[in-house]
Structure 1
Amino acid sequence: MAAEDGGSPRSAAGPPLPGVLCDIAELLSAGEDAPAGALWKLAEPGRQLDANVVRIPAAGRVDTHTEPDLDVLLLVLDGAAVLVRTDGERPLRAGVLTWLPHGSTRGVVAGPDGVTYLTVHRRRPGMRIQPPDAADRLRPGGA
């Protein structure tokens, strides 16, 4: 969904300006008919964060995985889900804000009506092309 105010994070002659990014109520208005996957992504240039609004249909899931690098905030916007953790499952419903610390193992299983949630985390650095011998420096005994 496009920003309501044009999405420009910088004024023509100065520092960044706050901006409206999307209307969550409008995103949620499609209800169970919303497509699966990312309904919205933060895409402003120069950002330090990544954010997504994600829809998982009924009984859909994000497989259990371990995120080694990033803490993630997950806010359920609509529907319900189960957060799968190594010590069991925790129910999630609209309005529940969850912290997923880096290094934790987690998965999400959507409830009978599906779930829509917002995630926010630090932006991953972009991929950089390295010289051919760069990997050698990471190996034991490397230069």
Structure 2
Amino acid sequence: MSSSSTGVLARVPELVRGAPRGHGGALWRLAARARQLDANVIRLRPGATVAAHVEPDLDVLVYVTGGGGWLVVDGVRKEALPGAVVWLPRGTAREIGADGDGLTYLTVHRRRPGLTIRRGPVTTGAGAQEGREPCGECGQPTREPGARFCARCGTALR
């Protein structure tokens, strides 16, 4: 299948250089309509985290492109340095965080299935008290004040 969006879609160093200083969240996302995959380039600011959560439906492949940080997968902490490729099987608990230089990574997974009715995320606690709402697509609470995109799935935030 040919598409006008095939070929080189983005260059991560250029995305990072072109992003506003201090910007965290999705720098790029795969947007072709007839796709089977979702992919996002995410940048976490220094010290930022994506809270622990379980992805029940999708395996996720993470490729660390820059900076440094860590992943906790099913309770085991692993270093996340440029060049690391990490597979996160569906059903595993995972959390990701950036060290002092921030962390930039690519996520790739099967396109999210249609919406299903499930128990929603808890919106109480520190995030709710600070006025941070969960992402409308994946339910992940926003961890960074002023974030424009969800650090988990790349969806534009309100």
TM-score, reference length from structure 1: 0.73
For residues 63-100 of structure 1, give each alpha carbon's deviation from its aligned partner in whole angstroms, at most 9, with x where no partner exists: 00111110000001000111012332111101101000
Partner in structure 2 of residue 51 of structure 1: 39
Q: Secondary structure at the match of 2:15?
A: helix
| Runs (4+) off by over 6 Å | none
Counterpart check, 1:94 vs 2:82: yes
Give the drift of 1:24: 1.5
Match of residue 125 from structure 1: 113
Native 8 Å contact 1:70 1:102 kept in 2: yes
Letter in 2 for 1:43: A
Give the CA deviation at 1:23.
1.6
Structure 2 residue 35 is matched with structure 1 residue 29 = no
Give the structure 1 partner of residue 58 of structure 2: 70
For the pair shown, the structure with the greater C-alpha radius of gyration is 1
How many angstroms apart in 2 are the aligned matches of 1:86 and 1:19?
36
> What percent of counterpart residues are identical?
46
Structure 1 residue runs of 5 or longer lacking an equivalent are 1-14, 129-143
Q: Distance in 2 between matches of 1:102 and 1:36?
A: 25
Greater share of residues in strand: 1
Whether the aligned pair in 1 keeps the contact of 2:75 and 2:93 (CA below 8 Å) is no
- Whether the 8 Å contact between 1:41 and 1:53 is mirrored in structure 2 is yes
Say if 2:2 is the partner of 1:16: yes
